[in-house]
Structure formats: C-alpha cells, structure tokens
Amino acid sequence: MNGTRVLVLNSGSSSVKYQLLDMADGSRPASGIVERIGEGPVTDHAAALKQVADELAAQGLGLDSPELAAVGHRVVHGGTRFTEPTLITDEVVEEIEKLIPLAPLHNPANVTGIKVARSLRPDLPQVAVFDTAFHSTIPEAAARYAIDVATADRWGVRRYGFHGTSHAYVSRATAALLGKEPAEVNTIVLHLGNGASASAVRGGTCVETSMGLTPLEGLVMGTRSGDIDPAAIFHLSRVGGLSTDEIDTLLNKRSGLAGLCGDNDMREIGRRMGEGDPAAQLAFDIYIHRLRKYVGAYTAVLGRVDAIAFTAGVGENSAAVREAALRGLTAFGIEVDTVRNALRSGAARLISTGSSRVAVAVVPTDEELEIASQTFDLVSA
C-alpha cells in the first residue's frame, strides 16, 4: 500500500455523502453530497455514485488516483456477524445483503456503494464500517427483548443499535474535552440528527442504546416515531385495514416531527414556535419529553454520569433543544449555563455551569474521520 488517502462513502436512503481524507496530514481534499436520489436526474444510487466518481475525477482526484489507499463504506446494519471494521470480499457483500430486511432503508444503498466502488477499482481495498459495531458490547439484559427466546434467536430479534460510529467518536471526544481517558468517564451521548439515538457509555464501552432491531426505536426523529406500543401496529392492521408496508411507511417516513406538525427540520419548527404555532409547539414538546425520559433512564443505568454530550444536526445547533431537554435537573447534578449554551461555535465545548456536577457538552460528530481512521488502520496493519 502506497497511498495515504481514504475515500469515505456514506450512502443514505436518499443521499450519498462522500469525503476524501488524507491520513498523512489530516487534510480533506474533497467532499460533497448527492441528494434527492430518485426524485430528479439522479434516478438511483448507482447514478448517484457515478456522479460522485465524476465529481472526484473532475478535480483530478478520481478513484484511479494512486494516492488512494482504500475506500471506507458506512454500512448501517452488521447484525451479530460484524462487530469490527471488515475488509470487503464477495462473501462479506453477500452477508451484508442478507441483512437488508433488518435495515431496508439503509443497507441496499450501502451495498450499491460497495459494488460501484469495487467495479471502478477492483484492486483497491474496501472496508465496511458498521453503525452497529460499537453497540456489540451492550449486555444481554439490555440487548434482549422480553419475548420467547427461541423465536427471537431464530429471527435475530434483539437490540443492535445504530449511529455507533458517532457514539464512539463523540464519547471519546467528550473524555478528551474533560482532559480524561475514555476509561475514566461515564457519558450519555445524544445523537440528534434526522435519525436520532441516545447511548450510555461506561468507561468507553457502550452499555445501552435507544435504537433497536432497526433504526426505528427510541427517540422521536425527523420522520420516525421512535418508541410506540407494538400493539398499535396490530390495531392499525386489524381495525384500520392498513397493510404491513403502509404501517412501515407510516412509522418510518410519516411520523416523528414530520408526522406531528408537517416539518421534520428543527429550524423550521423553531421558527413556527416563535409565531405561536400550536402544532409545532406540541411536536417540540413531545420530542423533548422523550429525550428527557432517556436522559433519566440512562442516568439510572450508569449510576454515575460524568458527562452528557449533544451531537449531530439538532444536538450541535439547537440551543433551545439542549436547554429544554435538561431544564430543572439540578437534583441530578445537571446545570446548563444559558450564556454558554447560546454561544455558537464549531468546536467541542462545555455548556454546563461551573457548579454542575455533570459536564454538559456540545461535541461535533465526525463519522467520516472515524470511518477513515478505522479503514486506514485496517489496511495499513
């Protein structure tokens, strides 16, 4: 291996994000996003990846570049099989394809990304980095659902958890911000993007997370419901006459903030709340209520909490969400400093008061750097 650059591909359900990172000097010579796949001229993920390859080639940074050491792919579901970054072979691709029923919105896009990149550069090492991997340490008491064990095992029904690359990166960065080793710190990480999840990390090891078998469980998200009584599905089916696919679409794409008020973007919800819009206010209140429940639950799971870290689009940018989520928790040792919380910055920073026993932090996530580092470590080992 000669090159020092890693191309990271993050293929989502309707977008492909890419970044080219140089591991020798930390620079990022290229990055971009192809959005709204399936809506306009970009008909599918293969077309989107072709566009990514073209954009890179136009800058003289194409996949044929000798400086490229590897391609790192974000793969959302790794099941129980993949708990480490994995060099991609035909057999690995087949295994990722077998996991499509567990992540129908995400894994097909990931597989397409892998196939296109491999066809363009068959000689280049390609590495899969799994969203589920960081959560593989969650103990059985937290990972198992309380259903018949044989049925659960037969069909792989258990908590896998997602956004693990982000939870891993942010929990380490939070320890660094406190000037401590990850092993010394217990952290609640709140990854609040379009998809959203919470995790409890004890001394660097993940012990609980809010997403489950699929990325649907847990917090209220942009378009996903998060927690719901599973009997609502039987009710909608038997009484409401909705098909399984219709209920799937309802809970994944027409729920969450979008289902509650028509907008999935927290900026727009904040604007509408400022105008006194009751639907936007209720959506915000439900979002915050769920978040507070998880903070309380994970405080009990960890016993001792040293830090709470907010990350991803909403967590990094919405002071209103951070303030509301942790308001009135002085009895838990949690005190947000209003002035610090309102300051805007792209850097990791503390927003708790000097007297807060629990450090509250805003820590920008960097899934691309984490994927590139894990990829580069594997191919240069």
Ligand X SMILES: CC(=O)OP(=O)(O)O
Ligand Y SMILES: Nc1ncnc2c1ncn2[C@@H]1O[C@H](COP(=O)(O)OP(=O)(O)O)[C@@H](O)[C@H]1O
By the rule CB under 5 A, 315 interacts with Mg ion: no
Going by C-alpha positions, the residue among 84, 81, 202, 205 that lies closest to residue 133 is 84
Going by C-alpha positions, the residue among 287, 293, 301, 84 that lies closest to residue 187 is 301
The CB-nearest residue to ligand X is: 195
Judged by the rule CB under 6 A, the positions of this chain that interact with ligand X are: 12, 76, 106, 131, 162-163, 193-195, 215
- Count residues near ligand Y (CB under 6 A): 13
78 binds, among Mg ion, ligand Y, ligand X, none (CB under 5 to 8 A by kind): none
Using a 10 angstrom Cβ sphere, with 0-12 exposed, 13-18 middle and 19 or more buried, the burial of residue 225 is buried
Contact pattern for Mg ion over residues 170 through 209, marking x by CB under 5 A: -----------------------x----------------
Sign of the CA dihedral 146, 223, 209, 321?
negative
Is-contact 301 201, C-beta < 8 A?
Answer: no
Residue 192 annotated as lining a ligand binding site: yes
Beta bridge partners of 34: 16
Residue 224 Cβ, how far from ligand X at the closest point, in Å? 8
Q: What residue has token string 């909490």?
A: 305
Distance CA 32, CA 139 (A): 38
Residue 193 Cβ, how far from Mg ion at the closest point, in Å? 4
Distance CA 144, CA 187 (A): 22
Q: Which is nearer to ligand X, 195 or 256 (CB)?
A: 195
- Token pair recorded at residue 296: 């309380």
Q: Which is nearer to ligand X, 255 or 356 (CB)?
A: 255
Distance CA 51, CA 370 (A): 24
266 binds, among Mg ion, ligand Y, ligand X, none (CB under 5 to 8 A by kind): ligand Y
Q: Which is nearer to ligand Y, 121 or 191 (CB)?
A: 191
* Annotated catalytic residue within 64, 90, 131, 337: 131
User: Which range in 154-162, 247-255, 279-287, 313-321 contacts ligand Y by CB under 6 A?
Assistant: 313-321
Q: Which of 209, 317, 341, 352 binds ligand Y (CB under 6 A)?
A: 317
Question: Buried (b) or exposed (e) across 26-39, using 16+ Cβ within 10 A?
Answer: eeebbeeebeebee
Residue 358 Cβ, how far from Mg ion at the closest point, in Å? 25
- Token pair recorded at residue 2: 């000669």
- Can you state the angle between helices 319-326 and 278-302, rounded to 10 degrees? 60
By the rule CB under 6 A, 318 interacts with ligand Y: yes
Going by C-alpha positions, the residue among 158, 193, 150, 188 that lies closest to residue 293 is 188
- Count residues near Mg ion (CB under 5 A): 1
131 binds, among Mg ion, ligand X, ligand Y, none (CB under 5 to 8 A by kind): ligand X
Q: Which of 213, 260, 312, 350 binds ligand Y (CB under 6 A)?
A: 312
Distance CA 168, CA 176 (A): 13
By the rule CB under 5 A, 222 interacts with Mg ion: no
Query: 131 catalytic, yes or no?
Result: yes
By the rule CB under 6 A, 210 interacts with ligand Y: no
SS3 content of the chain, % helix, strand, coil (to 5): 45, 15, 40
Long-range contacts of 275-283 (CB under 8 A, 24+ apart): 283/257
Count CA atoms closer than 13 A to 16's CA, side-chain side. 31
Residue 131 Cβ, how far from ligand X at the closest point, in Å? 5
313 binds, among ligand X, Mg ion, ligand Y, none (CB under 5 to 8 A by kind): ligand Y
The annotated binding site is made up of 10, 17, 74, 191-195, 265-267, 313-317, 367
> What residue ranges bind Mg ion (CB under 5 A)?
193
Residues making up the annotated binding site for ATP are 17, 191-195, 265-267, 313-317
Residues that bind ligand Y (CB under 6 A): 193-195, 222, 264-267, 312-314, 317-318
Residues designated catalytic = 131
Question: Binding site for substrate: residue ranges?
Answer: 74
